[in-house]
Amino acid sequence: MKVNKITALKLLLALAITFGFTACSKKGSNGNSTATGWKINDKKGGFQHNSKYKQQAAAPGLVEVEGGTFTMGRVQDDVMHDWNNTPTQQHVQSFYMDETEVTNVMYMEYLDWLKRVFPPTEENYKNIYVGALPDTLVWRSALGYNETMTNNYLRHPAYSNFPVVGVNWIQAVEFSKWRTDRVNEGVLEKEGYLKRDAKVVDVTAETTFSTEAYLESPTKSYGGNEEIVLKGQRNKLAAKEGATNVYAQRTSGIILPEYRLPTEAEWEYAAVALVGNREYNLYRGDKKYPWKGSYTRSGKRTSKGDQLANFKQGKGDYGGIAGWSDDNADITAPAKTYPPNDFGLYDMAGNVAEWVADVYRPIVDDESNDFNYYRGNVYMKNKIGEDGRAEIVTADNIEYDTLSNGKIQYRNLPGQISQEQISTDDTYLRQNYTKSDNRNYRDGDRQSTRYYDFGGTEEEKGAEKDEHRMYDSPKHLVTKDSLGNMVRQYDKSSKRTTLVNDNVRVYKGGSWRDRAYWLDPAQRRYYPQDMATDYIGFRCAMSKVGPKSGKKKARN
């Protein structure tokens, strides 16, 4: 018995020691590095890390779309016989998307900011505000009276919650960039990294906030006004530690990724919302439109017979007979007029078609890539100034583009970082990409044509004749004469065979002008990126950082 007691005591002692080591190990793992054993977030200095970060917060206007695998281009009928949506298996990562299209009031806020900060009455900025204005003349028709929309649709409060139209692809991209900076500026002010109300009170053409400029060099934000960036700090770290020059960084976890246009794959995946038909790892049931079933009318008892989208039912039938409307709209309809799809997104069919990020090609090259597919990459880098730091755009070096229709469009704004294309030095020995501009990769570049001489010299390979281009699209040129007057050179050639080039963009979904055929999310059309219509709008997306889903999984 005595031996047994001693053995039991030894066993208890061993368990206690083991528990102690386990507890110490667990305690150490919370504050010490698993790589070095050093203390993380030591007040004395060293490696600092946001160990309390949970997950990305949904930015204003956005809802989460959990990524997954789907069949892109599933079209039941191809009445156009263009064969540009052959089914391919694709996977998209989780992302966020605007709950509705960008509305007139949202775009008006953008215009108001530009007009206040960059007054068009000043010579240096006269083309910034004008370049961002939607083309309200898109409402005009040679045989129709639409002047009411031309004069009122954008600005009248009766149309505030209607989707903005008359915006070309380039303007939609610039709006997304502006929105990124304004949202992050508000986040940093709220978290105490910027002076309170500086975004309204102190902002001028020389003192604006740019997310990328702040991350590169915080003291260059607001034109170097350190009172806004340094003296206005009220964040927890500065208050607790008595520290100075405390900035937010990528590692802080509070700066949001950029707003942008969704890729075609993302838009189609979000629109069809197959998640509502999921059964284990398969999709069950027919879903031709963003809603269930193959019909455009509701089958629910409470709304039976109601149209589920805003589209043209037939010739001359945009809304139905007066007194009882088929879809309660003749032109566009206010946001959230119709039920959302299974992702909670409104108007993913009908109302207005929507710009997406992709350059158009008749094929989707799933052999090259089936993960986050996107055609349109033009890789850029920060332009380095004489001081060895990133060059900030000022009033003296704003860059403008003259579009094919003669319109002037700003390329960057004061306060942003100047960008330039990457060079061959940046791609040396890279295996995943070899050049900056990849818009025509494997379909449109010289190597893709039947005229490319694989055995020729570099000079012979580089010489491209106009008639040897894969896509023989028109070339409209805009130049200036010796007096500075604009000269438009319209391509009058009768030998052009296509409108496809690297400056035409995909737009998705049907609109108030389209028949039901175009409501299918798999349909794809294209339009010049510098032109606008009365039936194309847009919505923004944002990539999701972190895990595919932060929710606990449960079987349906």
Placement of tokens 């102690």 in the chain:
20
Query: With contact defined as beta carbons under 8 Å apart, do 92 and 64 qualify?
Result: no
Lowest mean pLDDT among 153-167, 271-285, 382-396, 431-445: 271-285
Residue partners of 390: CB distance under 8 A and separation at least 6? 213, 216, 217, 382, 383, 384, 417, 418
DSSP code for 342: T
Q: Rg for the chain (alpha carbons), in Å?
A: 28
In angstroms, the Cα distances linking 141 to 51, 289, 358 are 59, 30, 29
- Report the pLDDT value the prediction gives residue 320, as an integer from 0 to 100: 83
In which element (H, E) is residue 181 found? helix 169-190
Q: Rounded mean pLDDT of 63-81? A: 87
Asked if the model's pLDDT at residue 26 lies above 50, the reply is: no
pLDDT at 180: 98
Q: Is pLDDT above 70 for 266? A: yes
- Collapsed DSSP state (helix, strand, coil) of residue 189: helix
Helix (H) / strand (E) element for 16: namely helix 2-31
Distance CA 186, CA 170 (A): 25
Residue pointed to by tokens 């055929």: 517
Q: Length of the chain in residues, anyone? A: 556
Across the range 318-325, mean pLDDT stands at 79
Residue 161 in this model has a pLDDT that exceeds 90: yes
Confidence (pTM): 0.90
**Strands of 312-440, DSSP E:** 353-359, 380-382, 400-402, 408-410, 419-421
Q: Check residue 307 and report its DSSP letter.
A: B
Mean pLDDT, to the nearest integer, of 418-427? Answer: 94
| Pairwise pLDDT comparison (285 vs 474), residue with the higher score | 474
**What pLDDT is recorded for position 238?**
53
State the average pLDDT over residues 87-91. 94
User: What would the pLDDT profile of 529-543 be if each residue is shown by its tens digit?
Assistant: 999 999 999 999 999
Q: What is the pLDDT of residue 177?
A: 97
Mean pLDDT (whole number) for 272-285: 76
User: If you average pLDDT over residues 112-124, what whole number do you get?
Assistant: 95
Any idea which residue has 């189609």 for tokens?
Answer: 268
Instruction: Tell me which range, 287-296, 437-446, 469-478, 505-514, is most confidently predicted by mean pLDDT.
Output: 505-514
Cα dihedral 296, 300, 306, 311 sign: negative
Spatial CA neighbour of 221 closest among 389, 415, 385: 415
Work out the number of other CB atoms within 10 angstroms of the CB of residue 353. Answer: 27
In DSSP notation, 373-392 reads: --S--B-EEEPB-TTSSBPB
Domain spans, the chain: 59-138+258-368+508-549
Q: Are 490 and 497 in contact (CB under 8 A)?
A: no
> What are the tens digits of pLDDT across the range 119-154?
999 988 999 999 999 999 999 999 999 999 999 999
Q: Give the pLDDT confidence score for residue 364 in this predicted structure.
A: 94
Is residue 393's pLDDT more than 70? yes
Query: DSSP string spanning 458-501?
Result: HHHHH---GGG-SS-----EEEE-TTS-EEEE----S------S
pLDDT score of 304: 79
* Averaged pLDDT, 181-208: 92
Distance from C-alpha of 295 to C-alpha of 196, rounded to nearest angstrom = 52
Architecture of domain 59-138+258-368+508-549 in CATH? Alpha-Beta Complex (3.90)
Helix (H, G, I), strand (E, B) or coil at 527: strand
- At 10, the pLDDT band (50, 70, 90 cuts) reads low
